[in-house]
Amino acid sequence: MRITRLYVTHDLAAEGSVGLSPSQAHYLSHVLRLKRGDPVHLFNGRDGEWQGDVDALGRGWCSVEVRAQTRPQPALDGGDLWLVFAPVKRARIDFIAAKATELGAAALWPVMSEHTAVGRVNADRLHANAIEAAEQCGRLTVPEILEPESLRGALARWPDGRRLLYCDESGGGAPIAEVLEAARGEAAQGWAVLTGPEGGFARAELDALANLSISTPVSLGPRILRADTAAIAALACWQAVLGDWRQTRIKSAQPAS
């Protein structure tokens, strides 16, 4: 059985004791029915992964005795890849947060474009979905959730040197594999994938994107993809061609069996 992995905010070090949140305590005691002495893995995005065991468990609380580090903290956990996306409705945005985490995104940045139908983004909910996915997929980091803002605002303060691939539904992009293959060996200061809302980008937005010196329009083929499909597909292609999918697979946890 796979050992349960939990994200905590506390520092982690040998011989320490860590208190879990009420919902984590509930999950361990009522869903998994763990008992005193049962093993768990903890990570906080800073100190690597640690094996610990349940020390004491009560109604709404649980303390874990931290034993030994099982993996050191990597500098980056999936490459310096951001997903910048026009938010979509509830189930699909949850889904984007979870999948982007599995696919190794370092940050998630909701941006409001002209055709974005969603007015407000629940950043806490994005964060919770990202944490859950990070726990399950074996990551040692949780993607940072960047403050939602307008697409225009995001482009105006776009970080120097961060390459931006935007999924252009209007037909202006080059095939994504060609763009990624051509970029192998290039020294970019990070990357970002930008996907639009269900209605696509507005003409003025495409113009603003094209004017950014560091941006490249890419095509995801002749079919019209849903916004969530486009985000997942573009991240997967990036990891496959430029990211850590190129490396030999190193198992980060035991498969369930």
Q: Using CB under 8 A, list all residues that contact its own copies.
A: 78, 95, 98-99, 102-104, 115, 136-139, 169-171, 173, 175-178, 180-181, 198-200, 202, 219-226, 229, 232-234, 236-237, 239-241, 243-253, 255-257
Nearest in space to 138 (alpha carbons), one of 103, 108, 95: 103
Q: How far is the CB of 50 from its own copies (least distance, A)?
A: 18
| CA 235 – CA 143 distance, rounded (Å) | 14
SS3 state of residue 49? strand
Q: How far is the CB of 108 from its own copies (least distance, A)?
A: 16
Measured from the CB atom, the residue of 47 and 228 that comes closer to its own copies is 228
For 36-48, give the DSSP string.
Answer: TT-EEEEE-SSS-
- Rg value, the chain, Cα: 20
Question: Are 253 and 6 a contacting pair, CB within 8 Å?
Answer: no
Tokens of 77: 């956990």
Q: How far is the CB of 221 from its own copies (least distance, A)?
A: 4
Which phi and psi angles does 101 have, rounded to 5°? -65, -50
Pairing verdict, β 5-7 and 39-43:
parallel
Measured from the CB atom, the residue of 63 and 70 that comes closer to its own copies is 70
Q: How far is the CB of 246 from its own copies (least distance, A)?
A: 5
Q: How far is the CB of 226 from its own copies (least distance, A)?
A: 6
Amino acid at 241: V
Measured from the CB atom, the residue of 157 and 223 that comes closer to its own copies is 223
Measured from the CB atom, the residue of 45 and 78 that comes closer to its own copies is 78
| CA 149 – CA 19 distance, rounded (Å) | 35
Measured from the CB atom, the residue of 99 and 163 that comes closer to its own copies is 99
Measured from the CB atom, the residue of 46 and 246 that comes closer to its own copies is 246
Q: How far is the CB of 139 from its own copies (least distance, A)?
A: 6
Measured from the CB atom, the residue of 37 and 222 that comes closer to its own copies is 222
Pairing verdict, β 174-175 and 215-219:
parallel
SS3 state of residue 72? coil
| CA 123 – CA 131 distance, rounded (Å) | 12
Distance of CA 224 to the CA centre of its chain: 24
Q: How far is the CB of 171 from its own copies (least distance, A)?
A: 4
| CA 80 – CA 189 distance, rounded (Å) | 8
